[in-house]
Amino acid sequence: MGAKAGPPELQVLGTLAVLWLGGVTLIYLLWQGPCPPTRGQLHPEEGPARPQDCGSGPASEPLGGEAQQQQPDACRLVLVESSPQDMPFASGSPSAQPLAQAWLQLLDAAQESVHIASYYWSLTGSDIGVQDPSSQPGEALLQKLQQTLDRNVSLAVATSHPTLARNSTDLKMLAARGAQVRYVPMGHLTRGVLHSKFWVVDGRHVYLGSANMDWRSLTQVKELGAVISNCSRLARDLEKTFQTYWVLGAPKAVLPKHWPHNFSSHINHFQPLRAHFDGVPTTAYFSASPPQLCPHGRTRDLDALLMVMREARQFIYASVMDYFPTTRFSHPARYWPVLDNALREVAFDRHVQVRLLVSCGLNTDPRMRPYLQSLQAFSNPAANISVDVKVFIVPVGNHSNIPFSRVNHSKFMVTEKAAYIGTSNWSEDYFSSTSGVGLVVSQRPPGAGPGVSTVQQQLRQLFERDWSSRYAVGLDRQAQDCTWKG
């Protein structure tokens, strides 16, 4: 005969205890998330070597080790840009740090980990069948990435699938050195692409901007971004967005109905990071798109843009590659005037000066022109409504052998109160189905300190340089084929 059963109450309590323990275990496993593995793990699907907090970082050890974690933040922001070769500005014009230099410096500084989110990779001229000396900076960057791996620094890459760069071997080469790569099927998940472009280094430094991991972004395309260094609170917040891509790049991944708590952000429009950047009082936060990739607390990218616009009282200067108050990649196209209406509203209601600089290149969709003309026509100086639109044309010159280049690819906006630097073009798809990120920064001028300017002032100077240059052309003078007349 078997042992006697215990009292019914004890049996029930025992059953409940087992169920409770199982539930806690399941929740724990979900919250860990499949973080990027360490260099010793060669297969992303194997998962991490031991439990770790995705909100803290990718490695099984704390990011940068205990010594680095205890270092106090000394946040610093530097604007970076690429100017196409053979497109000089007037002597004495303001400029930002060269992007190629900034990327190499970030890799030199890396001690533990480099995480990169990028639409696609094409760092060598051979990727597109072009032999041109302007590909050298991209090839040098690829070599530096290999050297970084050789220093036992982990590299994790999240990129879009399928890729535009079908002939590129960059990621295969890096994976052979130990890099971890995940291809995120955004088309399947959200009907968009992974269009974000950012780095997180050692959980302390970040890059965010318009540049893809493409050699043309360093020498043939006009780009703008920002590097924030020694700022772990912001870096670890952006890392959470990287983690959303990483888990969605796992085999058979699905979009969660609710993201686990450790993906949540506590830095946003309503509660930005407050710090001193080089002694300048600063607020900053990151935004993201599409909504499905915005865990609790993350400001949506479209909302960030709209709030920066609505808080302006003097001017809004914006530089973007494409401007469509419609969808671009859905058929039939739908009207989507959200950003267009916001610009008209602030110009009409508060008499904010609006300037919009839009790219015009050989691959520019001519259907954009009527929308720009409509916005320009809204201007009415007699009613104190100031809306001006120009197109920026990069001269092709003797670079016609390089496809999909010679274009202004920047995506930024500046007002007297804030700077916005993003990765998305201005049409509906980039905010509803395609992944992107934005950085919103606001600085107050310090009480003293000659020569110190806010990021708004610096970005405004770069915009005004572009706006007043010979490459910025009014709509009435724009060539229909976007060729530069000199």
Q: Please list the active-site residues.
A: 195, 197, 202, 409
Q: How far is CA 149 from the centre of its chain?
A: 23
197 phi and psi angles, rounded to 5 deg: -145, 95
User: Cis omega (within 30 of 0) on the bond before 290?
Assistant: yes
- Separation between Cα atoms, residue 229 and residue 474, nearest integer Å: 38
Angle between helices 338-349 and 301-311 (to 10 degrees): 10
Structure-token pair, residue 250:
């796992």
C-alpha Rg value of the chain to the nearest Å: 24
Asked if 217 and 223 touch (Cβ cutoff 8 Å), the reply is yes
SS3 category, 280: strand
CA angle 279, 283, 287 (to 5 degrees): 140
Torsion angle, CA of 461/463/467/471, rounded to 10 degrees?
A: 110
**Bridge partners (DSSP) listed for residue 420:** 413, 440
247 phi and psi angles, rounded to 5 deg: -70, -30
**Which residue from 431, 434, 392, 429 is spatially nearest to 409, judged by alpha carbons?**
392
SS3 category, 109: helix
